[in-house]
Amino acid sequence: MSTDQNTREWNGIVIPTTGTYQLDQAHKRVGFVARHMMVSKVRGEFAEATATITVAEDPLQSSVTAVLQAASITTGQADRDTHLRSGDFLDTEKYPAIEFRSTGITSNSGNEFVLSGELTIKDVTRPVELTVEFEGAGRSPFGQDIFGFTAATEIDREDFGLTWNVALETGGVLVGKTIKIEIEGEAIRQS
C-alpha cells in the first residue's frame, strides 16, 4: 500500500519507494569511539564519506555501498589525527579509502534491521554486521525524497591490521582494541 508518491507501507512502517539514494553530505556523521588509556573514550569521525543506497521493491533485497576518505579522519586533536593517518594506523597515503559493501539485510524488529557486509580497511576485508534503525521517510521542504537512519557496530581494529599500541606501566594499553562505529544520516533520492 502506497502512502503517497515517495513512500509506501511495509510491515507496519512507512519506507521509501524503490530507487537510488545518496548520503546527504549536510546531514551525516560517520563516527567512531575508541578507549584511551583504559579509562576514557576518544570520539572522532570521517568528515568525507559517500554512500549509495539502492532501495529494492523487497526492502530486504536493498543494498549499500560506502566510501570513507581515510585522510578525513578527525578527533579534534591535530597530533592524534596525524598519527591516525600515519603507517602506524590507517596509512592514508597508501590506502586512501575505507570501503563498505553490503551483502544482505534482515529484519530484526519493527524499524530495526541488521545490515551485513564487507568492510575493507587498508588491504584487509572482513565481514561486519551493523544494527540499523530506520528513522523515517518523507519529502523535504525542498521537494526531495529522503529517509533517515542510524547504524552501529563494533570491530576489533587488530582484525584489520591496526595493531599499533603502547603498554602502560600501570597495566593495560594506550588504545583499546574495540572500536565502536556510529553512523547517522539522511539519504536523498537520485533516481
pLDDT string in tens for the chain (191-residue length): 334 588 999 999 999 999 999 999 999 999 999 887 676 799 999 999 999 999 999 999 999 999 999 999 999 999 999 999 999 999 999 999 999 999 999 998 889 999 999 999 999 999 999 999 999 999 999 999 999 999 999 999 999 998 887 776 777 667 789 999 999 999 999 98
- Which domain range does residue 41 map to? 2-189
Beta bridge partners of 68: 49, 98
* Structural domains in the chain (count): 1
| Cell representation of residue 73 | 579522519
Q: Could you tell me the CATH number of the domain that includes residue 109? A: 2.40.128.110
* pTM (predicted TM-score): 0.91
CA-wise closest residue to 6 among 133, 142, 106, 150: 142
